[in-house]
Amino acid sequence: MFKMRLRLSVFLILFLIFRQLACSQDTDIVVNGNFRGIPLISAFNYLETNYPLRFYYKEEWFVNDTAKVNIENQPIGEATRILLNGRPFTYRIIQGNQIVILPREEVAMLAGHIQNYSDNDVSDQAFILVGNVEDFGKQKAVILNGQIKDGKTGDPVIGAVIQVNNLQQGVVSNAEGRYKLTIAPGLYTLMVSSVGFEKNYYQVKIVGNGVLDMELFDKSIALDDIVIYGERVDKNISSHQMSLVELDNRSIKQLPSVAGGKDILKGLTTMPGVKSIGEFSSGINVRGGGEDQNLYLFNGAPLFNTSHVFGLFSVINPDVVDKLSLYKGHIPALHGERVSSVVDIRTSESAPDRVRIKGGIGLYDGKLMAEVPLYKDKVFFDAGGRTSYSNWMLQRMKDYNLRNSLATFYDLNGSLHALLPKGRISISGYTSFDEFKFASEVKYKYGSTLGSLNWSYPISSNLGSYLSISYSKYNVEKEDISTHLMQSRTDSEITYKGLKYRVKFGGINRHTLDAGFSLVKYDIMPGKQEPLNDYSMVLSSQLESEEAYEGAVFINDEYNLGLNLTFNTGIRVSGYSNPETPKEFRFEPRLSAKFRLNDFSSVKVSYNRNFQYLSMISYSSVSTPADIWKLSDSYIRPLEANQFALGYYRNFLNNSIETSVEIYYKGLNHVIEYKDGANLEMNPDLRNELIDASGRNYGVEFLLKKNSGKVDGWISYTYSRSLRRTSGMQAGEMINGNNWFPSSYDRPHDVTVVSNLHLNKRLQLSANFTYASGRPITLPEYKYFADDEVVVYFSDRNEYRIPPYHRLDITLSFDESLRIKKKWKGRWSFSILNVYGRRNAYTVYYKKEDPSELNDYNRFSLYKLYLIGRPLPTVSYLFMF
């Protein structure tokens, strides 16, 4: 058997045929070693250990062979020739550091007996041989499979295209970077390409079934452009799934810098239909839905808070994310629990070939992560952490409020993976903590704890099973520290325990079935208040705890009807039970269809119904981590969404340019709205502050994306509306006279332009521009005096809008070195956020004042709070080794 030192992949045999059977290769690796009297294998080992070299050979060839040479300052080619001198072997160096050793006899035997489909003359070029030579001529078609990897990081490359030159044949790598190609034996030139990578060519001689792993290398290692793309170049056309956004590990690294760091959720907001309510607000809003309508899954466990420092950063360290999938429309039946979207975040499941370290340092935070193999490629783990160090900077500020504020956070995550003889098991953990204090007024501490166990087990070649057990806890502690007499602490907490099991069956022709069940238990402690000192006048109190079970069974069938038509039908039956209400069951059908018009275009349609039994009660128009969660009960009914979507997808120039347009309509029932002046904090009668409303969100989304070239990027435009309507009969239960009114997420126009200019392989300039209509707000229109107080008379709910939001960011990134052999890779990124210093409003609020010349003798004023009011330069340094 071959000894594959650094890649323990599969049955891969490499042979070389070349014009000169024995020749030395030009390479800049010069080696030394006294190998007199030591086994030849040990000599190879020594060279591998002390130099960045890999040797490929069969151990049995050299079991009892001893070297007898002393090598001094010889290029590796010459050194190998000396070591093999007098033996029936020759060698070939590929990519500068991989030495493939071959028996001269076999190489000679193969030459000239095989069909040549390659771009080269069979005798003129080196070929990698795949398959057992003894099988040559026995099969008309053989299977070539393997994995496409990022040559720099070793990570699998998803969606890489493997094309067989001179034959109109090709495949695309899957989610694990793997591919499978059925082909006749012969000589071929394989071209491997993927967005952002240099094309790579492999000359292969395929003589039988075999495995060939191939590598791609960055065009330049430009981390600061944004590349968001699907599994395959034309996936937007070929997949039945619509309204899907995917980020893989590489494109995540390329998200724009925000305060010196990357942010996966804010990167999503550059895509059509995904927005945030304001600059640095917490979470995302998908197709007019609230932040709580998104299910964020981190390795299968749900996240209830997605932001550090009240929205400044996302809680997920982008370095640890291998893949993120955002389902904003057709949500597969296996997912439920929320009505707007599912954000499925996964860390890497690929075994590292060695210890790999990544890290970064920015203005406000630093991060580090490691991937460590423990036992061959069977057991490995990854761990990462991130922390902020903004406190010491705040303490140096002149302003009292800033000097006495705190804004600190950390998050830690780790996963342990074991590849079993059959299947795989992974255990994942995550914890985050935030402490935020604003001067001497209020202090928040909040954090999440997540754990999950995922076990995938192939029952047969057609049947796989997947088990996931998850746990999530989110707690908030708010301390009122304004005055000694009012000092108090309020705690709230939500706990989630989940179990999901599903099987995937592909044994029926043209069908792929996915079925299973899930069970979730929620426990909520909505509020517990205690005085902070003996003088405090705040009394201890606790709101009644809540608990509920949510279960579901689901089945999904992907049916390829032929004639370019694919159907995806599913049904999910969800059940809900809490102590207050009888068990309830609801049907959640999922339907989608794709009709491929031709190689470059397709039409898709989908319908989804989802129910949500858990809602977030927000203290303000801007979601914050301090908001509390509330379970459905007899008064607060489960939120229901019915979404229809229709999309047309058209690619140009061999898939290098993608365009799409999607139209959607989402009807909502039992949306939570708030009564005027709702009192939500520690309110035992919270339900009396809420109003049941219906909603309708609709819009059209355009995307034009250029995937390659010196300039790449995309333009997205969304026109959408998000409206609400109450139907109460009492004055307090009506909003705007029960007429439709815009929700807080209604921002009709949204344009994003993302462009990356690749100046050269090491230097890249990126520019991102965003424009969005202002968020709806309610403003005071009139005022009057009542008993010497100024009382404000407001407009209708959300009748006005804050000014439109627009911002331009630019980033220049520079790679220290692109050399593959260089272990330390570093990158500098210099960004200017908000280039023209627009003061985009975060919130608008009013404040009573003493009349003076400064405020035109007004008794109150409106204030606009903005977060970045000037051009903000940032710098960050990323490294890996």
Partner 1 sequence: MKNNATYIIGFALLIMGWSCKEVYYPGDIKSSERIPVIQGMIHNDEVPSVRLAWALRYDDNLTEYISGAEIRVTDDLGNSVTLEEAGSGLYTSFSSEFTGEPGRTYTLYVRLPDGNEYISSPELLPGYPVVDSLYADPGTREVLTYSGSNEPLSEFQEGLFILADLSEVADSVKYYRFSTKFVKEITYDLYPRTLMTKTVFEWKSGTIGNFYNVNQTVEYNDKQVLREQPVGFLQYDYNPLLETDIATAPYPEGWVLTFKAYSISAKVYGYYNSIARQLGSNDQMFAPIPSQVESTVECITDPEKEVIGVFEASAKTTVYKAFAWKDPEVYKSRDLESFPEDVGDGSTLPFPPEFWVPFN
The interface with partner 1 within residues 654-683 (CB under 8 A) comprises 674-679
Q: Which is nearer to partner 1, 88 or 851 (CB)?
A: 851
Residue 851 C-beta: closest distance to partner 1, Å: 7
Tokens of 404: 């006495």
Judged by CB under 8 A, which of 868, 876, 878, 880 binds partner 1? 868
Per-position x/- string for 343-382, each x denoting binding to partner 1 as judged by CB under 8 A, each - no binding: --------------------x-------------------
**Binding residues among 86-105 for partner 1 as defined by CB under 8 A:** none
Residue 409 C-beta: closest distance to partner 1, Å: 16
Round to whole Å and give the CA distance between 511 and 556.
Answer: 10
Q: How many Cβ atoms from other residues are within 10 Å of residue 540's Cβ?
A: 10
Judged by CB under 8 A, which of 580, 684, 869, 881 binds partner 1? 869
H/E element holding 702? strand 690-706
Residue 694 C-beta: closest distance to partner 1, Å: 19
Contact 680, 686 (CB under 8 A): yes
Secondary structure (3-state) at 472:
strand
Q: Which is nearer to partner 1, 15 or 842 (CB)?
A: 842
Round to whole Å and give the CA distance between 115 and 167.
Answer: 13
Residue 756 C-beta: closest distance to partner 1, Å: 24
Contact 756, 225 (CB under 8 A): yes
**Binding residues among 408-467 for partner 1 as defined by CB under 8 A:** 439-440
Which range touches partner 1 (CB under 8 A), out of 14-22, 410-418, 590-598, 842-850?
Answer: 842-850
Residue 844 C-beta: closest distance to partner 1, Å: 6
Residue 637 C-beta: closest distance to partner 1, Å: 20
**Binding residues among 97-156 for partner 1 as defined by CB under 8 A:** none
Q: What is the DSSP letter of 819?
A: -
Tokens of 746: 């209604």
The alpha carbon of 673 is separated from its chain's Cα centroid by a whole number of angstroms, namely 31
Q: Which is nearer to partner 1, 814 or 866 (CB)?
A: 866
User: In sequence order, what are the residues at sequence separation of 6 or more whose Cβ sits closer than 8 angstroms to the Cβ of residue 399?
Assistant: none
**Binding residues among 475-534 for partner 1 as defined by CB under 8 A:** 482-486
Q: How many Cβ atoms from other residues are within 10 Å of residue 711's Cβ?
A: 12
Considering CB under 8 A, how many residues would be counted as binding partner 1? 81
Round to whole Å and give the CA distance between 875 and 812.
Answer: 10
Q: Which is nearer to partner 1, 442 or 573 (CB)?
A: 442
- Give yes or no for residue 858 binding partner 1 (CB under 8 A): yes
Q: Which is nearer to partner 1, 396 or 819 (CB)?
A: 396
Q: Which is nearer to partner 1, 306 or 874 (CB)?
A: 874
**Binding residues among 796-835 for partner 1 as defined by CB under 8 A:** 797, 800
Of residues 517, 515, 518, 540, the one with CA closest to residue 529? 540
Judged by CB under 8 A, which of 546, 842, 878, 880 binds partner 1? 842
Judged by CB under 8 A, which of 781, 822, 823, 824 binds partner 1? 781
Judged by CB under 8 A, which of 397, 508, 561, 565 binds partner 1? 397
Round to whole Å and give the CA distance between 71 and 50.
Answer: 14
Tokens of 425: 């098991």
Taken in order 87, 93, 98, 103, is the CA torsion positive or negative? negative
Residue 412 C-beta: closest distance to partner 1, Å: 24
Give the type of residue at 487.
Answer: Q
Judged by CB under 8 A, which of 168, 782, 852, 853 binds partner 1? 782
- Cα Rg of the chain (Å, integer): 30
Q: Which is nearer to partner 1, 137 or 873 (CB)?
A: 873
Question: Strand pairing of 161-164 and 214-218?
Answer: unpaired
Q: Which is nearer to partner 1, 602 or 843 (CB)?
A: 843
3-state secondary structure 80-110: HHHHHCCCCEEEEEECCCEEEEEEHHHHHHH
Per-position x/- string for 739-778, each x denoting binding to partner 1 as judged by CB under 8 A, each - no binding: --------------------------------------xx
Judged by CB under 8 A, which of 732, 822, 823, 824 binds partner 1? 732
Tokens of 666: 């989402």
Of residues 544, 620, 689, the one with CA closest to residue 842? 620
Judged by CB under 8 A, which of 731, 850, 852, 853 binds partner 1? 731
Of residues 344, 295, 333, the one with CA closest to residue 517? 333
Residue 435 C-beta: closest distance to partner 1, Å: 17
- Give yes or no for residue 859 binding partner 1 (CB under 8 A): yes
**Binding residues among 247-286 for partner 1 as defined by CB under 8 A:** none
Q: Which is nearer to partner 1, 561 or 854 (CB)?
A: 854
Round to whole Å and give the CA distance between 590 and 333.
Answer: 6
| Distance set, CA 803 to CA 128, 351, 657, 778, 809 (Å) | 62, 49, 34, 13, 19
Residue 101 C-beta: closest distance to partner 1, Å: 50
Judged by CB under 8 A, which of 26, 134, 544, 789 binds partner 1? 789
Tokens of 696: 């309708």
Round to whole Å and give the CA distance between 495 and 498.
Answer: 10
Q: Which is nearer to partner 1, 505 or 866 (CB)?
A: 866
Which range touches partner 1 (CB under 8 A), out of 125-133, 400-408, 577-585, 597-605?
Answer: 400-408
Residue 762 C-beta: closest distance to partner 1, Å: 24
Q: Which is nearer to partner 1, 525 or 844 (CB)?
A: 844
Judged by CB under 8 A, which of 747, 843, 876, 878 binds partner 1? 843
Of residues 653, 661, 663, the one with CA closest to residue 600? 653
| Distance set, CA 51 to CA 249, 489, 817, 822, 877 (Å) | 29, 60, 19, 12, 28
Q: Which is nearer to partner 1, 32 or 391 (CB)?
A: 391
Round to whole Å and give the CA distance between 474 and 411.
Answer: 13
Round to whole Å and give the CA distance between 218 and 223.
Answer: 10
Tokens of 60: 């049995």
Q: Which is nearer to partner 1, 443 or 596 (CB)?
A: 443
Secondary structure (3-state) at 40:
helix
Q: Which is nearer to partner 1, 486 or 759 (CB)?
A: 486
Angle between helices 40-50 and 76-84 (to 10 degrees): 170
Judged by CB under 8 A, which of 787, 850, 852, 853 binds partner 1? 787
Q: How many Cβ atoms from other residues are within 10 Å of residue 744's Cβ?
A: 24
Judged by CB under 8 A, which of 217, 455, 619, 717 binds partner 1? 619
Judged by CB under 8 A, which of 121, 399, 580, 599 binds partner 1? 399
Q: Which is nearer to partner 1, 374 or 791 (CB)?
A: 791
Q: Which is nearer to partner 1, 298 or 842 (CB)?
A: 842
Of residues 321, 182, 160, the one with CA closest to residue 655? 160
**Binding residues among 540-599 for partner 1 as defined by CB under 8 A:** none
Residue 438 C-beta: closest distance to partner 1, Å: 9
H/E element holding 252? helix 249-253
Any idea how long the chain is? 881
- Give yes or no for residue 621 binding partner 1 (CB under 8 A): yes
Residue 777 C-beta: closest distance to partner 1, Å: 7
Residue 423 C-beta: closest distance to partner 1, Å: 48
**Binding residues among 593-612 for partner 1 as defined by CB under 8 A:** none
Round to whole Å and give the CA distance between 874 and 42.
Answer: 50
Judged by CB under 8 A, which of 794, 830, 877, 879 binds partner 1? 794
